[in-house]
Chain A
Amino acid sequence: GAGVSQSPSNKVTEKGKDVELRCDPISGHTALYWYRQSLGQGLEFLIYFQGNSAPDKSGLPSDRFSAERTGGSVSTLTIQRTQQEDSAVYLCASSLVNQPQHFGDGTRLSIL
């Protein structure tokens, strides 16, 4: 069956621009997570959505970062006024509640 789908796979943009990253989870998965992975580093938790509950935003590094999940399915991560330190691979994962997470292929974001 279809896995977690992320788009775009690569994004290059200029410092100061806004970017939107999209995640389409596995059908039926109620939990959706965003992570960030810088080169050679581990995964940094950003935000977690579970069903209709308020999202856990505790990992968002600044107020330039926001995310929404419409209709309990597709999620968009938005980064405003991008900075060079935002360059990383942004990974989305989905799961059933308290079950293992399955990752998408990620979006490689490069800020010039």
Chain B
Amino acid sequence: QKEVEQNSGPLSVPEGAIASLNCTYSDRGSQSFFWYRQYSGKSPELIMFIYSNGDKEDGRFTAQLNKASQYVSLLIRDSQPSDSATYLCAVLVGSSGSARQLTFGSGTQLTVLP
């Protein structure tokens, strides 16, 4: 089982709709969770991070974390064509005192249709 799993997509939504991106992780001790956006040919760009159970909102983006279910999601409201990109879920793995590393899922490709 991969440590961080995402549906590879592609996921297509119409402009103005809500895009829902999902991610599960295997390390129950993980504490920090990140969503990166990567445009084709570009490097990943951090868009959200969440540490506590529940929702965290930033503009059109909402990150949701459920540690009991080992599940983190990203909602994009009022999707725009400019949101079309690959979205990478990343989880900080490793225990206190040991080296920690960010483990990435393989990404979900999102296309927002005009």
Interface residues of A (CB under 8 A from B): 33, 35, 41-43, 45, 48, 50, 53, 56, 58-59, 91, 93, 98, 100-106
- A43 / chain B contacts, CB cutoff of 8 Å: 44, 88, 104
Give Cα A95–Cα B49 distance, bound, in whole angstroms. 14
Instruction: Indicate whether A56 sits within 8 Å of B34 (C-beta atoms), given known contacts A43-B44, A43-B88, A91-B44.
Output: no
Partner of A42, one of B34, B49, B101, B107: B107
- A102 / chain B contacts, CB cutoff of 8 Å: 46
- B46 / chain A contacts, CB cutoff of 8 Å: 100-102
B92 within 8 Å of A (CB atoms): yes
- B106 / chain A contacts, CB cutoff of 8 Å: 41-42
CB pairs A–B below 8 angstroms (17 shown):
A33-B102, A42-B88, A42-B104, A42-B106, A43-B44, A43-B104, A45-B101, A45-B103, A48-B99, A50-B99, A56-B99, A59-B101, A101-B102, A103-B43, A103-B44, A104-B43, A105-B43
For the complex of A and B, the 6 pairs showing the least CB-CB separation, nearest first, are A42-B106, A56-B99, A43-B104, A103-B43, A100-B46, A100-B49
Known: A56-B99, A102-B46; 15 extra A-B contacts, CB below 8 A, are A33-B102, A35-B104, A42-B105, A43-B44, A48-B100, A50-B99, A58-B101, A93-B102, A98-B92, A101-B90, A101-B102, A103-B36, A103-B43, A103-B45, A105-B43
Give Cα A103–Cα B90 distance, bound, in whole angstroms. 13
Return the chain B residue nearest A6 by Cβ: B43
Give Cα A106–Cα B92 distance, bound, in whole angstroms. 21
Counting chain A CB atoms within 10 Å of each CB, the highest count among B32, B42, B46, B101 belongs to: B101
- B42 / chain A contacts, CB cutoff of 8 Å: 105
Minimal beta-carbon separation of B5 from chain A (angstroms):
11
- B99 / chain A contacts, CB cutoff of 8 Å: 48, 50, 53, 56
- B107 / chain A contacts, CB cutoff of 8 Å: 42
